[in-house]
Amino acid sequence: MKKIIFSLSLLIIGVSIPVNGQLLKDARKLFGSKSGSYTEGEAAEGIKEALIKGTSESVNLVSLVDGYFGNAEIKIPFPEDARNVETTLRSMGFSKKADEAVRSLNRAAEDAAMEAKPIFVEAIKGMSIKDAIAIVKGEPNAATLYLQKTTTAGLSQKFKPVIQRSLEKVEATKYWNDAMGTYNKIPFVQKVNPDLAAYVTDKAIQGLFVMIAKEELKIRKDPLARTSEILKKVFGN
């Protein structure tokens, strides 16, 4: 799948574009690709389809059980202003409560992650030919940055109510309240009560883009993709 994404993304280099000709010339100079006989619209749609598949794969990965919790890079920890809560609980023999709280936050993110798919699809379908070429010519995380710019606001708006429901669904609120209740009974500690929905929403989105960036970097480093007749025709066997 990654190979297909990379190849479709590069397909635009071989397209004959009557408009934006200078962009095409610049892209050809950069990649030295062969010329093909495909229209601007066909190439752009190919790139969009590839990006939709790529983001969908990332969403599918994080939405699995342990998609967040089992991945050290994106695992959601205690909120920053509650790290002393975790430390104190563990030092006093309440590690199980701390573990349950952390696991439940990640389960809520995994449960809500699928909501990202339609937001990514909408952003990708709205991509211009200029955006597509800029991504091909850009930095190793150009596509990720494009999606961050065009989808973060929508993801936050869409995610938060879903995260709130997911926190209840996976009993994260219960586990969190148990941990906080145990901590707040300890004499002389400073009480804390973070906004869990906002915190998990932010961390879930950050984690999703970490995965997308990793996918993009791998895709850009793998030039092999001669898996279809159209790609063989454009790039050679």
Q: Is it the case that residue 18 has pLDDT exceeding 70?
A: no
How many residues in total does the chain contain? 237
> Mean pLDDT, to the nearest integer, of 176-203?
84
What is the average pLDDT across 81-97? 88
pTM over 0.85: no
Q: Is the pLDDT of residue 84 over 80?
A: yes
The answer to whether 21 and 86 have CB atoms below 8 angstroms apart is: no
CA distance 78 to 137: 39
**17 pLDDT above the threshold of 50:** no
Average pLDDT value for residue range 77-89: 87
Structure-token pair, residue 151: 């989808």
Distance between CA atoms of 22 and 181, rounded to whole angstroms?
64
Count of C-beta atoms within a 10 Å radius of residue 136? 20
Cα separation of 51 and 44, whole Å?
A: 11
Residues 6+ apart with CB under 8 A from 66: 106, 110
